[in-house]
Every structure is written in C-alpha cells, then in structure tokens.
Chains A and B, each alone.
Chain A
C-alpha cells in the first residue's frame, strides 16, 4: 500500500478525509486562540500603540503653515530667499487673504507660536499684524464706495455673490435653528475667482464664527481689494453676471489708485521686509519636516539649509550624553553593589537566602514615590545623612555636603531604586552555577582569586549582561526621580520631554526627542532579547 492510497483510505467517521478534517480542526483552534487574544490586542492597539504612533507622526508633522496660510505658501514657491529681496506684491496679496481668514479663526497666534520655535520674534510679529491686518485694503473700499455708495450695502454683495436659493433660504431664516450655509452663485467663481473665494470665506466666518447673517455685514476690505484685482485682470468679462453695478465698476476701477499690500504690511511691522522671515516661512511650509529632529540634535533648519546652532544654545546633544553617562554610572554602581549580594544569596542555605531576598524585594515593592521621597528627606542639607555626618564629626556644621539637587543625588537615589533589577537576574544566573566548579578549580591548584576570575566570573557574565541592560534601559527613560532629586544638573532627557509637553509647549520637539529615546530603548531591548530572551523576564524572583 503506497502513501497516496493510505491517505485516501484514511477517512473519519463522518466520511471526510482525515487530512481535511484535521486541517479544519487546526483552523478552528487557531481561530479560537485568535478570538481570545483579539480583545486585548485591540485594546492595546487603541490605548497604547496608536498613541505611540501618534507621537512618531507628530515628530515630523508640520501641516500648520500650509493649513493656515495656504495661498501664501503656493505663491511663495517661486521666490528665492537667497535673492535677498522681499517677495512680490502677489505674495503679500495672498498673505493678506490668508491672514484675514486666520485672524477671524484665531489661527494666526497658533501659527506665530509654531514659527517662533524656529525664529524668535515670529510670535509677536504675527500677533501684532493680526491686530491691524483688517485695515489693509481700506483704500479700495473707500474708492468703490465713492464710485457707487451701493457697494457699501451688504445686500449688493449678497445679490452679486449669493446663490438665489441661498438668498431665499437666508431671507426665510428667522434667527432660530440652523442658519442656511452660504452658497456661491453659479458662474461667479469663473469670472471673479479671488473675490468669490474671499467672499465665500467671509460669509462662512460671519455665519460660523460670529453667528451673524452676511446680509447684514459689510464685507472685509480684502474682499474689495480682491474685486479690484479681479477687475484689473486681463480679459475679464462681467457681462455673464448681468449686474450693471459691476459693469460700472469695471470701467470705474481703471482709474483707481493702486494700494500696495506690501507697503501696508511693512508699515504694520518692519520685519515683513526681512527676507529671513520669509525664508523661515518658506523653509517650514512643507507638510513634513525634519526640523524637530534636527533641533533635537542641536542642528537647525534655516532657509540656507541645515546648520549647527550657536554653541551657547546647544543643549540636547549634551543632555543625551549626560543621560547616557549617568545611566552608565548607575548601571556600574548597581553591578558593584548587586554582585556581592547576588553571590551571597546564591551561596547561602535557602533559609538565609530567602531572608535576604525579602530585604531585596521590599524596596522593589515599595512605591517609587516613597523611595524617592525618602532620599529627598535623607539627603537634604539639614537631612538625616548630613546630620549624622556632622554628629559623628566627619564634617563640620558649615561643611554640609550638597547631596541633592545635583548629579550625586540622582545617582545615589537611582542606584538604590534600580539595584533590585540588577540583583534578581544576577541571582538567577548565579544560582545555576554549580559550586563544584569552584571547588574543582581550587583542588587543581588555583588560588581563590584565580578560581573566581577564570571559573566563576565568566559564568556569571550573562547575569551581568542581563542586569546591566535592564538597569540601563530603565534608567535612561526615568523621569520622576531625576525630576525630584536632580535639580538642574542631574536631569535626564525625559525631563526635557516633559518640559516641552507641559511647561513650555513644543509638542513636535517633545515628540522628536521621545522618538530618539524610543529608538535607543528598542535597540537595547532587541539586544536584551538576544542575550536573555524577553520570555525569561521574571518578576520578583
């Protein structure tokens, strides 16, 4: 009987071939396992992985400039900041429109704050401009008004720009319930594109932000300015709109005095004439930026490309190095203090080892805040440690040691807090080293030192590795303890991240610093997984 026939012959009780039946059972089992895991997986994805992803995206996200001043960004594309000249009038016209809408939506201060991260003074520039931008183009309003006073009537504009259906609905609206939202008249956008766009924006702002009716509000000056621009464009034909007032305006506007938006802006604030300001806007107008990451490594994205920041402003690289070397010092102190204890536990009879284990686990289980507050209390200038040292005469009363709010405080407290994380893996490795090896080495003539150095120590290295990586990973991400006992000199990169989230909001930079830290930690974990295996993580022995 061949294999094939054997398989053909294998049939289960209900007549299906065994192979099919087994596969079906296996599939069902897999499905059941996945169904059990699914709720948690979804939960973790939503409550944890998405937030982390959100942070990663934020570190490069830069949509604000192109969202708030889209027209300016488009017209600015052709401008070259190295020319040393301010952009053309066209750019300023676009900026006036963007700014008017942004001011009504109160977006301009947000944008100013955002750009202020890159160039100081931007925030006040935007704020100041925002207060006066609605005066720009006033000359056009007056000139249109001189031409025909009807231009200053809101209804003139409504009939010219509004869709007949909307006008009827708006007239029927009694002020209660939802206001019918503005619709442009057919064809007006083709003839008067800028005016239509601005009027629509105006109508929307009036309806949504102010909750008024466009039929009762005179349009912004920039709408008049846009109308002037549209009428001055080549080959404009207003006959299709069949509005006599517009035809008259087309003829009359030719004699209008042109108002420069550029001069208007520069009059509000001289900085608008500065090509560097425009260079900054241009450099940060793309929706994705490496600017935050560059800043996180003490470089800056300037209009001229990537440049290192001034020496007196470099902080992050130094902070990363400090985080690294302090974590290493803490790790090393943990090895130094943890190794003897782990050895003692591994070589004592179980009963005594258990007692020591409890002494190790008690701090491990005590609230982090409790241990940190203990150190804060003990290490103070008037604290127990200094008092004791003074009392037994090791130091004078005027020579009290500065043990807190500096690097020393952070290292002492964190070594204490992380020591159990070193002892536990060391202990579990040492427990597995047979004591007979040391005895054998000694009976072969090795001295105690040689036996330890050549036989015992090499076997305990995996424990040192596991403990070191664990302690190092935990310490580079620490926030609470350095914040409380570290002062200004003993803080880590995490404290800077927290600072940029709450104290001085710059979420993009916080996200970039966090991403770098996350990458370092994940790389270390990958190493940890190679050395020990994540599955071997043990909790409290």
Chain B
C-alpha cells in the first residue's frame, strides 16, 4: 500500500519526525520493552533503554529512508532476526510482532494518518481524544473476542493444564498435541453426549419449524382475532427465565410421566425454539407480497400448491434461519435438559456443565473449540441467508 499524502496531510505533518514520530515510537518501544523484559526476567531499566532505542531507531530509519511496504517488512525482518539471535524461535516470533507494531506506529505517526478520522481543523487535544477512543474500543473488542480465541490454542495443549506451558510459549512442537481431540472423539464420556445432542436437536428443530412456520403464516393474515395475546403466548418461552421454565417443566412433566424421557426433552426444546422461528418467519412475511398468492390462486393453484410453489420458496431464508436459531437453542441448551432429562439424555452442554462444576478435564477445551467452529459455520450461513433474503425481497441491491 502506497501512502499518498494529500496537501493537508503534508501541512499537518511538516517534518514531524524528530519532535513527534521518533519520541512516541520510542515510548511505545519502551513500554513493549518493559513487558518483554518482565516476561523473560530482564532488568527493568535495561528493558526501557533497549525498547526506547529500538523504537526510536526504527522510526528514524523507516521514515527517513524507506517506503511504506519495504519499510514495514524491513522492521519485521530486522527485529525478528534480532529476536532469533537472543531468544530462539520464541524470540523470532516476539521480534516479528515488535517489528510489525513499531513499524506500523512509525508510519502511522509520520504520515499523519492518525488524523484521518478527524476533520483537518481539529485541535491536538481532539486528535488525541479520537485516537484514545479508538484504543478504548479496540480494548473492548479485545475483551469481547479474546476469551473465545484464547481457548483455541489452549485446546492443543500437550499437558493437562489450563494455561500456556513454557513449551507452548516457545512454540516447541512437543508442547502441542491433538490428544484432547482424540479423547473428545473416542471417549464414551463425550461421544455419547454428542450423539444424544445430535439425536435431540434435529427432532426438536423439526417440530419448532413445522408448527412455527404454519403459525407465523396464520399470524400474518390480515384478520386474526387476539393477535397480540397469541403472539405474547407464543413468544413467552423466550421471555421467561430458563430456570423458571425448567422448574415448571420438571414439576409438570414428572406429573404426566414425561420427566426423564427422550420425548420430554424434545418437547421442552421444541417449545424453547419456537419463539425464534416465529420471530424470523414473521419478519420475512412482512416483506411478502400477498398479491402473489392471489395471482397463484387466480391461475388455478390450490392453497397447498400455492404454499409450496410460491410462498415457501420466498420465505425459505427466514424459515431456515429460524430453524438454525431453534437448532442452536436446543444444541446449546443446558438448564432445561438438566431438570427434564435423565442420565439417558445427557447432552454435550450437560456434560460440559457437570465437567465444569465437578472435575474439569482439558477435553472440555477441545469440545469448546469444536462448538466454536460450528458457531462460525452457522454465523456465516445465517449472514448468507440474510443477504439472500434481502436480495429476494428487493430490500438491498445485494
């Protein structure tokens, strides 16, 4: 990427290398130096000095003598080499990261791109605030995403620990293994619950989707008596806290002999999934052109044919995404199954829950990583369906 400086940028920039970009990059280098120094047990002052010198040096060399792309690579390569000499493989990686960060920082400051988000007349204070705000947002996003991403590498731990071992930090291949995954896919303790989950969720989803779609179509008709009351009842499983649903179902299902049976769990999960189907399908039907069904009827199609040939293909994205919501609700659900189910219906989340509560086995991290992959697939599918639905309904050019 070539940074094209505009006239305004140049004016703002002047030649700020010595008084601006160098000291700040040096400061960043000092902070990183302290952190790394602590990590490997170096002297505090030594860390600060080395970090500052490296930061300022990188800024000076890059901004004065190199273009953006070669400059970035030179910083990464140079510091990685330095790391390799002093710290082996781990040092190589740390050096590369340092180089990337310092190089980016130097160019970002020197080229004036730090002002890109604010108008040209903004005061230095406003510019500082703007960038601090971006930093805060970055930290919040880090808080949001880091816990999930951290457990992925942890699941490849060769030891039964829940933290990064020194070997893992040194990127030693011996520190990593697939043994937790092997355990997850071969141990009965995990395969049986996984299989149970796969037996329960699709059946519950099928019930939710069939009944939910029919009802959503009924609700979208123009003359429905007591529509709000019906809607409130149908949405209620989503509103009532799960523990209360679980308690009620436990009491009632043990009265009628469904407690601890496969069908008891399926019914309970179907009920929990229905609001999602109702909401998504109703939302899709809002954009549905009723004259299409009238046109079909006009041309001699009976209601069933009309539904399957005209209405269904158009609302299908909504139905499928409702179904996905219902599926994930059942697949993820633990509170209700804990009470309504018995040992024979132990699902994957149940197994994870008892594992977390009693004795936590690292296999849980493998299970979690598998589930994360499933959620990513589902998220992508849903996004795709949403776009397709909007395109079909002509809401966006797609």
Q: Which residues of A contact B (CB under 8 A)?
A: 26, 29-30, 32-37, 39-41, 43-45, 47-55, 58, 337, 340-341, 344, 356, 358-363, 365-378, 380, 382-384, 387, 391-393, 416, 419-420, 448, 473, 476-480, 483-484, 494, 497-498, 501-502, 507, 510-511, 514, 517-518, 521-522, 525, 534-535, 537, 539-540
Binary CB contact string for chain B from 241 to 263 against chain A (1 if under 8 A, 0 otherwise) = 11111111111110100000000
A-B contacts, 11 listed (Cβ < 8 Å): A51-B249, A52-B245, A337-B143, A344-B134, A360-B144, A365-B378, A378-B151, A494-B243, A510-B247, A521-B244, A539-B325
What residues of B have a CB within 8 angstroms of the CB of A367 in the complex?
331-332, 349, 368, 371-372, 375
What residues of A have a CB within 8 angstroms of the CB of B371 in the complex?
366-367, 369-370
- Contact residues of B between 377 and 392, Cβ < 8 Å to A: 378-379, 382
What residues of B have a CB within 8 angstroms of the CB of A43 in the complex?
207, 211, 270-271, 274
What residues of A have a CB within 8 angstroms of the CB of B240 in the complex?
52, 477, 518, 521
| Main SS class of interface, A | helix
Binary CB contact string for chain B from 4 to 35 against chain A (1 if under 8 A, 0 otherwise) = 00000000000000000000000000000011
- Closest residue to B272 on the A side, CB-wise? A48
What residues of A have a CB within 8 angstroms of the CB of B332 in the complex?
367-369
> In the complex, how many angstroms separate the beta carbon of B90 from the nearest chain A beta carbon?
13
Partner of B244, one of A37, A360, A377, A514: A514
- Residue contact B239 to A382, C-beta cutoff 8 Å: no
User: Interface size on B (CB < 8 Å)?
Assistant: 93
- Closest residue to A520 on the B side, CB-wise? B241
Binary CB contact string for chain B from 121 to 144 against chain A (1 if under 8 A, 0 otherwise) = 000001001000110110011011
Partner of B379, one of A29, A362, A494: A362
- Residue contact A359 to B145, C-beta cutoff 8 Å: yes
- Residue contact B136 to A362, C-beta cutoff 8 Å: no
Question: Is the CB of B217 closer than 8 A to any CB of chain A?
Answer: yes
> In the complex, how many angstroms separate the beta carbon of B348 from the nearest chain A beta carbon?
8
Partner of A501, one of B221, B247, B274, B379: B247
What residues of B have a CB within 8 angstroms of the CB of A358 in the complex?
379
- Residue contact A41 to B230, C-beta cutoff 8 Å: yes
CA distance A343 to B368 in the complex (A): 31
> In the complex, how many angstroms separate the beta carbon of B54 from the nearest chain A beta carbon?
18
Given the known interface contacts A40-B212, A55-B244, the answer about A362 and B239 at a Cβ–Cβ threshold of 8 Å is no
Partner of A51, one of B163, B223, B253, B276: B253
> In the complex, how many angstroms separate the beta carbon of B158 from the nearest chain A beta carbon?
16
- Residue contact A534 to B232, C-beta cutoff 8 Å: yes
- Closest residue to A386 on the B side, CB-wise? B163
- Residue contact B243 to A498, C-beta cutoff 8 Å: yes
- Residue contact B218 to A58, C-beta cutoff 8 Å: no
Partner of B144, one of A30, A41, A419, A510: A419
- Residue contact A40 to B222, C-beta cutoff 8 Å: no
- Residue contact B219 to A33, C-beta cutoff 8 Å: yes
Binds A, one of B62-70, B75-83, B91-99, B351-359: B351-359
> In the complex, how many angstroms separate the beta carbon of B347 from the nearest chain A beta carbon?
10
What residues of B have a CB within 8 angstroms of the CB of A55 in the complex?
244, 247-248, 251-252
- Residue contact B271 to A47, C-beta cutoff 8 Å: yes
Given the known interface contacts A54-B248, A494-B241, A539-B325, the answer about A356 and B141 at a Cβ–Cβ threshold of 8 Å is yes
- Residue contact B133 to A340, C-beta cutoff 8 Å: yes
- Residue contact B145 to A341, C-beta cutoff 8 Å: no
Question: Is the CB of B234 closer than 8 A to any CB of chain A?
Answer: yes
Given the known interface contacts A30-B224, A356-B141, A362-B375, the answer about A373 and B230 at a Cβ–Cβ threshold of 8 Å is no
What residues of A have a CB within 8 angstroms of the CB of B255 in the complex?
54
> In the complex, how many angstroms separate the beta carbon of A498 from the nearest chain B beta carbon?
6
Given the known interface contacts A48-B237, A517-B244, the answer about A361 and B379 at a Cβ–Cβ threshold of 8 Å is yes
Partner of A537, one of B250, B267, B279: B279
Q: Which 5 A-B pairs have the closest CB atoms?
A: A477-B241, A36-B218, A51-B248, A51-B252, A40-B215
- Residue contact B163 to A383, C-beta cutoff 8 Å: yes
What residues of A have a CB within 8 angstroms of the CB of B248 in the complex?
48, 51-55, 514
> In the complex, how many angstroms separate the beta carbon of B205 from the nearest chain A beta carbon?
14
> In the complex, how many angstroms separate the beta carbon of A21 from the nearest chain B beta carbon?
16
CA distance A448 to B127 in the complex (A): 12
B145, B147, B230, B352 interface centre (most CB from chain A within 10 Å): B147
What residues of A have a CB within 8 angstroms of the CB of B360 in the complex?
373, 376
CA distance A50 to B255 in the complex (A): 11
CA distance A461 to B353 in the complex (A): 37
Question: Is the CB of B192 closer than 8 A to any CB of chain A?
Answer: no
> In the complex, how many angstroms separate the beta carbon of B218 from the nearest chain A beta carbon?
3
Number of residue pairs A-B, CB distance < 8 angstroms: 273
| Main SS class of interface, B | helix
Given the known interface contacts A377-B154, A494-B243, A521-B240, the answer about A539 and B280 at a Cβ–Cβ threshold of 8 Å is yes
> In the complex, how many angstroms separate the beta carbon of A339 from the nearest chain B beta carbon?
10
> In the complex, how many angstroms separate the beta carbon of B268 from the nearest chain A beta carbon?
7
Question: Is the CB of B164 closer than 8 A to any CB of chain A?
Answer: yes
- Closest residue to B238 on the A side, CB-wise? A537
Q: Which residues of B contact A (CB under 8 A)?
A: 34-35, 38-39, 126, 129, 133-134, 136-137, 140-141, 143-145, 147-148, 150-151, 154, 161-164, 207, 211-212, 214-215, 217-219, 221-225, 230-237, 239-253, 255, 267-268, 270-271, 274, 276, 279-280, 325, 328, 331-332, 334-335, 338-339, 349, 352-353, 356-357, 360, 364-365, 368, 371-372, 375-376, 378-379, 382
What residues of B have a CB within 8 angstroms of the CB of A522 in the complex?
239
- Residue contact B368 to A369, C-beta cutoff 8 Å: yes
What residues of B have a CB within 8 angstroms of the CB of A51 in the complex?
245, 248-249, 251-253
What residues of B have a CB within 8 angstroms of the CB of A473 in the complex?
239, 241
A37, A372, A382, A525 interface centre (most CB from chain B within 10 Å): A37
- Residue contact A384 to B251, C-beta cutoff 8 Å: no
Given A40-B212, A367-B372, A370-B148, 18 other A-B residues pairs in contact with their CB atoms under 8 A? A30-B225, A32-B221, A33-B219, A39-B214, A44-B233, A48-B237, A51-B249, A360-B144, A367-B371, A370-B372, A370-B375, A373-B352, A384-B154, A416-B147, A498-B243, A517-B243, A522-B239, A534-B232
Partner of B137, one of A44, A45, A341, A514: A341
What residues of A have a CB within 8 angstroms of the CB of B339 in the complex?
498, 501-502
CA distance A383 to B162 in the complex (A): 6
- Closest residue to B243 on the A side, CB-wise? A494
- Residue contact A39 to B215, C-beta cutoff 8 Å: yes
- Residue contact B150 to A378, C-beta cutoff 8 Å: yes
> In the complex, how many angstroms separate the beta carbon of A22 from the nearest chain B beta carbon?
12
What residues of A have a CB within 8 angstroms of the CB of B378 in the complex?
365
Given the known interface contacts A377-B365, A392-B38, A393-B38, the answer about A37 and B215 at a Cβ–Cβ threshold of 8 Å is yes
- Residue contact A35 to B252, C-beta cutoff 8 Å: no
> In the complex, how many angstroms separate the beta carbon of B136 from the nearest chain A beta carbon?
6
Given the known interface contacts A34-B224, A362-B379, A540-B382, the answer about A54 and B335 at a Cβ–Cβ threshold of 8 Å is no
- Residue contact B241 to A58, C-beta cutoff 8 Å: no
- Closest residue to A337 on the B side, CB-wise? B140
Partner of B276, one of A366, A370, A374, A539: A539
CA distance A502 to B368 in the complex (A): 27
Given the known interface contacts A380-B162, A391-B38, A480-B353, the answer about A340 and B136 at a Cβ–Cβ threshold of 8 Å is yes
Given the known interface contacts A51-B251, A362-B379, A501-B250, the answer about A37 and B270 at a Cβ–Cβ threshold of 8 Å is no
> In the complex, how many angstroms separate the beta carbon of A468 from the nearest chain B beta carbon?
16
- Residue contact A49 to B233, C-beta cutoff 8 Å: yes
What residues of B have a CB within 8 angstroms of the CB of A419 in the complex?
144
Given the known interface contacts A374-B148, A501-B250, the answer about A539 and B223 at a Cβ–Cβ threshold of 8 Å is no
- Residue contact B217 to A44, C-beta cutoff 8 Å: no
Partner of A37, one of B151, B162, B219, B276: B219
CA distance A327 to B328 in the complex (A): 25
- Residue contact A416 to B143, C-beta cutoff 8 Å: yes
- Residue contact B230 to A369, C-beta cutoff 8 Å: no
CA distance A4 to B199 in the complex (A): 65
- Residue contact A50 to B243, C-beta cutoff 8 Å: no
- Closest residue to B152 on the A side, CB-wise? A374
- Residue contact B144 to A34, C-beta cutoff 8 Å: no
- Residue contact A366 to B375, C-beta cutoff 8 Å: yes
What residues of A have a CB within 8 angstroms of the CB of B140 in the complex?
337, 340-341
